Amino acid sequence: MKLLLENWRKLNAAAEILDNIPDWSIVKKDDELFLFSGRDLRPLDHIDIGTFSGIVEKSAHYHAGGIVHVKRTDMLDQLEANPEWIKLVLDPAAAEKITDQFELLRNKIMKRYKEEGVAGPLFTDKFKRDHPVEIDLENLTVALV
């Protein structure tokens, strides 16, 4: 009975952590930043110029770095084992300042690709689909690496 009660407490603590993370916040999982939609994690380590927003929108892309779909039960299991597994970094209002910059940088890259010629959309050699970025959480800025 004591073990059952302890497991119930851990599950409730994990659920409270997860429920206190608003959708469309930026979270840190391990050492990586993600946009948290409530049911999936979208990596914020690169700009995907194949999407309108510059943020990965589908995990079915042929390239690495797609959306990480995680069931709520799996998230709760992870949080039970390690309450620091995922933690809120920026609320939705601050996260929007970051995600807006992804679209601006994506548009800047696409403009350059179009100026350099028709090969841009083919994503070969110097024309890449993914562009690594560095996010400064203090100043809420995104810069190409």
Tokens of 130: 């993914």
Closest to 66 (Cα-Cα) out of 138, 137, 129? 129
Measured CA to CA, the distance from residue 35 to residue 101 in angstroms comes to: 14
Measured CA to CA, the distance from residue 45 to residue 43 in angstroms comes to: 6
pTM: 0.84
Q: Name residue 106's amino acid.
A: R
* pLDDT score for 47: 92
Across the range 103-121, mean pLDDT stands at 84
In DSSP terms, 18 is beta-bridged to none
Residue 123: pLDDT band with limits 50, 70, 90: low
* pLDDT score for 99: 96
Measured CA to CA, the distance from residue 70 to residue 140 in angstroms comes to: 27
Measured CA to CA, the distance from residue 42 to residue 82 in angstroms comes to: 21
How do residues 4-57 score in pLDDT, each as one tens digit? 555 656 678 888 999 999 999 999 998 899 999 888 899 999 998 888 999 988
Across the range 114-137, mean pLDDT stands at 80
* pLDDT score for 8: 57
* pLDDT score for 138: 94
Pick the range with the lowest mean pLDDT from 1-15, 28-42, 89-103, 105-119: 1-15
Per DSSP (E only), the strands in 6-144 are: 25-29, 32-36, 40-43, 46-48, 68-69, 86-90, 130-136, 141-144
Q: Is 52 helix (H, G, I), strand (E, B) or coil?
A: coil
Measured CA to CA, the distance from residue 112 to residue 3 in angstroms comes to: 60
Q: Name residue 112's amino acid.
A: R
Pick the range with the lowest mean pLDDT from 91-95, 118-122, 140-144: 118-122
Tokens of 77: 């299991």
* pLDDT score for 55: 92
Average pLDDT, the chain: 85
* pLDDT score for 22: 95
* pLDDT score for 126: 75
* pLDDT score for 23: 95
Residue 37 C-beta-side C-alpha neighbours within 13 Å: 15
